Each structure stands twice: as C-alpha cells, then as structure tokens.
C-alpha cells in the first residue's frame, strides 16, 4: 500500500528542476528560485533529485468540516520526507457548505480555477489533495486534472456518529427531519435547537452519505486514494497513518511518472458511478463527475449515470436513504467491502494511484455488519428491473426537461414514482417561503410543487433548495413527501421525491419557465419521463412570468458576472465553458 522505493532517484528531469536547476547563462533565475526557498531546508533540498510535493490544503476555520486538515498535512509531509521528497503546504481556496452564501457551488469553479493556476505556476512535481466538505474534493480534482501531473487525494473523513434521544442523528438529514417535525407541531422548537451538539460531535465532514461522503467514495472508486482510505473517520488514528502512507506514495508516483490522467479514465469514471449507486450517494455526484471528466476530455453523459447505475443494487444502509452513518460503514468493512459485492460490475482495467487496479484490492473483503452493508443477494433495493427503478440516479426526459433531469429513487417514496398532479409554481425560493404556509394555498398531497429560477445561471451556483419543505397544511395531514420539481440541486443529505437539475433551466429558456399553476404534470420514473401535459401550441403562446424574469440574476461585476456569462448547464457538469479541458503543466516564461 505504500511507496516502495524510498529515496529512489528519478531517471527523468523533474518539473521543479525547471525552476531550481542551475541551467544555462548566468544562473540568475535558478539562484532566485532557490535562494528564497532555502530557509529551513538543507542545500540539497532543491538539487533536482527530490520531488517537490504540494499539499493542496483546504483547511480553514471557516470551513469547519476541513478544520483538521493541517494535522493531516503534517502527516503527509512526514511521509513525503521519508520517501526523499519535499512536502510543501499550499493553502488553496476553501469552501464550507454551511456558511458561505448564497451557495458554495457558486465558487466550485472559481476554486478549481485558482487551484489549477497555482498548481501550474509553482515548482511542483506532484500533488496531495486534501479535501472534505462537499465542493473541496471536486474542485481539487478538476484543477489537478487540468494540469495533469501525479496527484492523490486524502479525504478528510467523516465526523463521529451523532446521537440524539437514543437515535442516530445524521448531519443534515437530522436537521431536515427535526425541523419538519417542528413545522408539523410534533417537536418543540427548544428540543430541536438543543439537538445541534448531539449531531455535530467531532472534527470531520458530514457523517451521512451526503455529498462529502459521496465525494470520498468517488475519489476512491476513481482510483485517486490509497484503496481503503476513504471513509476513515476524521478522528481515527488510521487516517493519519494513511496520510503518511500517501506522502510516501506520491513521491513514488512522481518517480514512476504516474499522472492523474493515467488513473482517471472512462473506465474509472464508470466504476465511480457504480460505487456511488451501491452506496446510495448524493445526486451532486452527477455534476461533479461530469465536470471532472470534462477537464480530462473524457466523454461522460447523464445517460451513463442511468445505464450504469441501473445495473447496481443499493447495498449501503446509510442516511439519508437509510438508517446508519459513515462510522458504521467504516466499521462494517467500508467501501472496499461494498465494492467486493459488486466486483463483477466494475471495470477491472483502471489502475489506482498505487499502480495496481482497484479490483486487486477486493479479495477477501468481509462484511462485518450486514445491517449496514447488505450482501449482494439481499440488497436494500435490487438492480433495475420491470418492478423497480434500481438504486442509481434515474435520468428523466420529456418536454419539461429535454436535456434531462434527475431523481434519486432510493431517497424517494415508491408510491410517488408514478404520479400525475397539478402544478403549484414558485418563481423563486423567496416566493416559496412567502406563500408555502398560506392557509389559502391551493395545495393537496397530490399537487406538484415547482421551484424554478434556481439553475446554475438563474440563481448563480444552483443552490440546494430543491427539496422544498412541505406546506404546513400538508404536514398536519401526516403527509411527509410530495413530488417536487426544480432546476436547482438538493443537499446530498436530503431526501424525498424530488426531480432535480431540470435542463435547460428556466433562466436559459427551458420549458420550466412556462409552467403555470394548475398545469398537469406526469412523472413516470420507470419510463424515465417527465411531461408537462399542455399542448405545444398553448406552450408556444406563453411567455415566462414577469416575477421569474425579475428574480433572475444579472450581476454587474466580479466572479458572479463571469459565472453567469460562462456557466454551462447542469446536464454537462456546470463548469465554465472556458475551463473545460486542460492546459497541462508547462510554463514557458520566467518571472524576472
Ligand atoms: Fe461540510 Fe456537510 S457541511 S460536509
Ligand atoms: Mg492553513
């Protein structure tokens, strides 16, 4: 599992030697690059033989899920040094899901762009990517992919299990559930507010199979972590052990010339889809995986998620789809035990960062708790068939979403997966909040709640607002789920019969902009369709509502303006058009 050739020298000239080497001429440039770096390092640290490893560090006190990454960085540094490299802390843009407004997703691409440029601009030969909270791992991978040097991920790990009143309380999921109980009048506000310390108990990212856990699963299934490391709880000593081993490994990868492009291939991307489906992972993975693939020039479409995911049974019983939390998954055998159950569905060819294929790590992986990881022959949800929609992400199409929309059947209510109902339209999340609890709102349990103007362009960043709380009127009838449709996203910790990522979004002229109250909508997940049952001629006569148009973003300056002008649809990964692809690692001009 660790690098073998400790202290081994490189055959080829290291990239960093372009900076530190003695070169031609009067040697002034190399002098400048070395002289300022030599403080605290021996003279041979920059002799052109020691791989320079940047530890891209998203630690930040304002990204509470990543607060502890400085500690991990130190363990990585130790491993790099043991293997004869130089480990260098490189703080990069960090995004915390819970604090930044209006949504961390607005800056995933900005973070990825800034990281990419710093990876390229600096004298580094390899990268260790430290992430945790939702957007950090995808941004790091997008950036590293566009530079194309050796890279390996250390996922920061989930926090310990939350427990509230004797029950597991998962991050996010518990918040959605308990706040709904407050709205329904079955839990006091005081009891709800007192639950926060029971939910968040330690360092680490959200402990549900939310987006952060899904990104860790994704990174490992892509081959980008030391196999077995993803999901190691943040406070667990084994995470530091794995971090140190990762430090040794990256030095070896530099010597071997094994780059991120050797590890992430179409085969490993499909393996990641399989892993995420078996785990009941977050819908956000769809956007992030497509964006990563786009950086590498690998074709990956929405339909790949459906066709690959449909073959996969749901095996992992974690919130929000199930009952347990990440610490339980780790103790039950972890991701490798899950992957061992679906080994036949994995592409055996893709290698991991170690140089060996992922499937090599799946022999003799036992499941220690079958309540947490269901065996293949007794899955929580079987693979798709005539009777079921399967465990993965279902991609819906129809006149309401010609470019596609997604739903996570495992987080939805079975009885709503085939549904016809009348639309109630909200032109913004503010419009929704103003009217949802109006006693005069004409809503029944069969209504279909529509929230629009929340796509990447309309509400820049595409916020996680699609899992609309139900109207109080409906909650009081004991109902806990309704069909909801939006061009926005939902938190990976959320659940419900929610159709997400409708494309094209309303702001880009999608049909969603034309829906009116009372229109009939037909959802048919088995047949993968989402239809607005209004005649074409009638739709041709309609124009978007003035309230929707007024609410759409029109930024005058800064990142938001750049974002609105260049962001692509959710159906292709919501990257900026000019960031798709790669620029490589070469920098030809000097700084002085
Ligand atoms: Fe950071 Fe959930 S808020 S992972
Ligand atoms: Mg720091």
Highest mean pLDDT among 335-344, 389-398, 488-497: 335-344
- What is the tens place of the pLDDT at every residue in 546-562? 999 999 998 899 999 99
Residue 554 Cα to ligand 2 middle (Å):
34
User: Pocket of ligand 1, candidates 63, 69, 97: which has the most ligand atoms within 8 Å of its Cβ, to mutate?
Assistant: 97
The secondary structure element, H or E, covering residue 235 is none
Q: 161: how many CB neighbours lie within 10 A of its CB?
A: 19
Instruction: Judge residue 479's burial from the number of C-beta atoms within 10 Å of its C-beta, 0-12 exposed, 13-18 middle, 19 or more buried.
Output: middle
Ligand located closest to 171 CA = 1
Residue 171 Cβ < 6 Å to ligand 1: yes
Half-sphere exposure of 454 (CA within 13 A, CB side): 29
Please report, to the nearest 10 degrees, the dihedral formed by the alpha carbons of residues 76, 108, 583, 57 taken in order: -20
pLDDT attached to residue 4: 38
Pick the residue whose CA is nearest to atom 3 on ligand 1: 97
Ligand nearest to the CA of 66: 1
Pocket of ligand 1 contains residue 306 by CB under 6 Å? no
The residue among 236 and 385 whose pLDDT is bigger is 236
Q: pLDDT value at position 118?
A: 98
**Ligand 1: which of 130, 158, 171 to mutate, judged by most atoms within 8 Å of the beta carbon?**
171
Q: Tokens standing for 335?
A: 């991701």
For residue 147, the CA-to-ligand 2 centroid distance in Å is 23
Q: What is the DSSP string of 135-151?
A: THHHHHHHHHHHH-S-E
Residue located via tokens 């071997």: 256
Nearest CA to ligand 1 atom 2: 206
pLDDT at 158: 98
> Which of 392, 395, 507 is closest to 452 using CA atoms?
507
Share above pLDDT 70 across residues of the chain, in percent, rounded to a whole number? 98
Can you list the alpha helix ranges (DSSP code H) found in 122-229? Answer: 136-147, 173-184, 189-194, 196-199, 211-221
Strand partners, 394: 407
ω before 14 within 30° of 0 (cis)? no
So what's the pLDDT on residue 27? 87
Polymer length of the chain: 592
Give the residue ranges of DSSP H helices in 195-257: 196-199, 211-221, 237-256
Q: Tell me, in angstroms, the distance from the centre of ligand 1 to residue 212's CA.
A: 6
Q: How far is the CA of 217 from the centre of ligand 1 (A)?
A: 15
pLDDT digits (tens, 9 = 90+) for 305-346: 999 999 999 999 999 889 999 999 999 999 999 999 999 999
In whole angstroms, give the CA distance from residue 344 to residue 152.
Answer: 26
Sign, CA torsion 26/27/29/34: negative
Q: Which of 69, 203, 205, 230 should be mutated for ligand 1, with most atoms under 8 A from CB?
A: 205
Give the global pTM: 0.95
Nearest alpha-carbon partner for 326 in 182, 452, 213? 213
> What is the Å distance from ligand 2's center to 69 Cα?
8
- Residue 5 clears pLDDT 70, i.e. is over it: no
> Is the N-terminal amide bond of 586 cis, ω within 30° of 0?
no
Q: How far apart are CA 118 and CA 112, in angstroms?
A: 10
Give distance in angstroms: CA of 297 to centre of ligand 2: 32
pLDDT confidence band for 392 (50 / 70 / 90): confident
SS3 379: coil
Ligand closest to CA 60: 2
Residue 133 in contact with ligand 1 by CB distance below 6 A: yes
Mean residue pLDDT of the chain comes to: 94
CA of 491 to the centre of ligand 1 (A): 10
570 pLDDT higher than 50 = yes
Distance of CA 45 to the CA centre of its chain: 36
State whether residue 414 is helix, strand or coil: helix
Q: How far is the CA of 257 from the centre of ligand 1 (A)?
A: 34
Q: For residue 135, which ligand has an atom nearest its CA?
A: 1
User: Nearest 5°: CA angle at 199, between 487 and 490?
Assistant: 5
Residues around ion ligand 2, judged by CB within 5 A, are: 59, 91
45-67 pLDDT, tens per residue?
998 899 999 999 999 999 999 99
Ligand 1 pocket, residue 100 CB under 6 Å: no
The pLDDT score that the predictor gives to residue 270 is 98
What pLDDT sits at residue 125? 98
User: Is the distance from the beta carbon of residue 98 to the nearest atom of ligand 1 less than 6 Å?
Assistant: yes
Range from 124-138, 400-414, 501-515 carrying the lowest mean pLDDT: 400-414
* Residue 171 alpha carbon, nearest atom of ligand 1: 2
Ligand 1 centre from 68 Cα, in Å?
13
517 CA to centre of ligand 1 in angstroms:
35
Sign of CA dihedral 473, 477, 480, 486: negative
Interval 260-304: pLDDT, tens: 999 999 999 999 999 999 999 999 999 999 999 999 999 999 999
Closest ligand 1 atom, CA of 213?
A: 4
Atom of ligand 1 nearest to the CA of 96: 1
pLDDT reported for residue 11 = 60
For residue 64, report the distance from its CA to the centre of ligand 2, in Å: 13
Angle at 451 between CA 535 and CA 212, to 5 degrees: 130
Instruction: Give the number of the atom of ligand 1 that is nearest the alpha carbon of residue 66.
Output: 1
Is the confidence at residue 386, as pLDDT, over 80?
no
For ligand 1, the distance from its centroid to the CA atom of residue 201, given in whole angstroms, is 13
For the CA of 172, the closest atom of ligand 1 is: 2
12-47 tens-digit pLDDT:
799 999 999 987 778 889 999 999 998 888 888 998
Candidate from 138, 157, 206, 284 with most ligand 1 atoms within 8 A of CB, to mutate: 206
Average pLDDT on 95-112 reads: 96
> What pLDDT score was predicted for residue 313?
94
Q: Could you tell me which residues are beta bridge partners of residue 522?
A: 420, 531
CA nearest to 110, candidates 139, 144, 67? 139
C-alpha 318 – ligand 1 centre gap (Å): 16
Closest ligand to the CA of 132 = 1
For the Cβ of 464 lying below 6 angstroms from any atom of ligand 1, the answer is no
**Structural element, H or E, at residue 478:** none
pLDDT of 252 higher than 60: yes
Q: Is the CB of 104 under 6 A from ligand 1?
A: no
- 331 membership: H or E segment, kind and range: helix 326-331
422 three-state secondary structure: strand
Whether the CB-CB separation of 354 and 348 falls below 8 Å is answered with no
């Amino acid at each position: 599992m660790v690098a073998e050739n400790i202290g081994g020298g490189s055959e080829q000239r290291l990239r960093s030697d372009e900076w530190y080497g003695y070169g031609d001429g009067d040697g002034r440039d190399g002098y400048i690059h070395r002289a300022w770096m030599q403080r605290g390092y021996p003279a041979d640290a920059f002799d052109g033989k020691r791989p320079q490893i940047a530890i891209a560090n998203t630690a930040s006190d304002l990204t509470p899920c990543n607060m502890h990454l400085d500690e991990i960085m130190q363990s990585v540094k130790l491993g790099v040094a043991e293997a004869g490299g130089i480990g260098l802390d490189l703080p990069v843009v960090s995004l915390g899901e819970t604090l930044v407004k209006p949504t961390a997703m607005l800056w995933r691409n900005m973070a990825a762009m800034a990281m990419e440029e710093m990876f390229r601009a600096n004298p580094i030969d390899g990268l260790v990517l430290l992430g945790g909270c939702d957007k950090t791992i995808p941004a790091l991978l997008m950036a590293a992919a566009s530079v194309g040097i050796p890279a390996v991920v250390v996922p920061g790990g989930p926090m310990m299990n939350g427990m509230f009143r004797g029950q597991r309380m998962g991050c996010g999921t518990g918040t959605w559930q308990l706040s709904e109980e407050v709205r329904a009048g079955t839990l006091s506000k005081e009891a709800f507010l007192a639950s926060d310390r029971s939910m968040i108990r330690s360092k680490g990212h959200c402990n549900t199979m939310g987006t952060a856990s899904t990104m860790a699963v994704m990174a490992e299934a892509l081959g980008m972590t030391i196999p077995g490391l993803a999901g190691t709880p943040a406070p667990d000593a084994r995470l530091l052990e794995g971090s140190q081993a990762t430090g040794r490994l990256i030095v070896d990868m530099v010597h071997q010339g094994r780059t991120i492009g050797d590890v992430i291939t179409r085969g490993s991307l499909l393996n990641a889809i399989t892993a995420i489906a078996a785990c009941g992972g977050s819908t956000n993975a769809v956007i992030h995986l497509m964006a990563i693939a786009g950086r590498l020039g690998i074709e990956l479409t929405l339909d790949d998620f459906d066709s690959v995911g449909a073959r996969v049974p749901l095996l992992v019983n974690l919130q929000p789809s199930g009952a347990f939390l990440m610490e339980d998954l780790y103790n039950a055998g972890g991701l490798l035990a899950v992957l061992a159950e679906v080994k036949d569905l994995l592409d055996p060819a893709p290698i991991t960062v170690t140089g060996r294929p992922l499937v090599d790590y799946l022999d003799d992986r036992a499941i220690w708790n079958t309540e947490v990881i269901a065996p293949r022959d007794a899955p929580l949800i079987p693979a798709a068939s005539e009777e079921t929609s399967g465990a993965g992400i279902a991609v819906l199409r129809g006149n309401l979403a010609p470019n596609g929309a997604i739903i996570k059947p495992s987080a939805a209510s079975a009885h709503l997966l085939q549904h016809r109902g009348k639309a109630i339209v909200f032109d913004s999340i503010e419009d929704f909040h103003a009217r949802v609890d109006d006693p005069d709102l004409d809503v029944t349990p069969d209504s279909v709640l529509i929230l629009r103007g929340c796509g990447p362009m309309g509400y820049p960043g595409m916020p996680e607002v699609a899992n609309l709380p139900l109207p109080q009127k409906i909650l009081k009838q004991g109902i806990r789920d309704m069909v909801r449709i939006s061009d926005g996203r939902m938190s990976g910790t959320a659940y419900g019969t929610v159709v997400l990522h409708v494309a094209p979004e309303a702001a880009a002229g999608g049909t969603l902009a034309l829906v009116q109250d009372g229109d009939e909508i037909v959802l048919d997940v088995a047949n993968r369709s989402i239809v607005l049952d209004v005649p074409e001629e009638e739709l041709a006569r309609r124009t978007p509502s003035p309230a929707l148009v007024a609410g759409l973003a029109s930024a005058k300056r800064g990142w938001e303006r750049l974002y609105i002008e260049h962001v692509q649809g959710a159906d292709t990964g919501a990257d900026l058009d000019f960031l798709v692809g790669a620029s490589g690692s070469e920098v030809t001009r000097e700084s002085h």
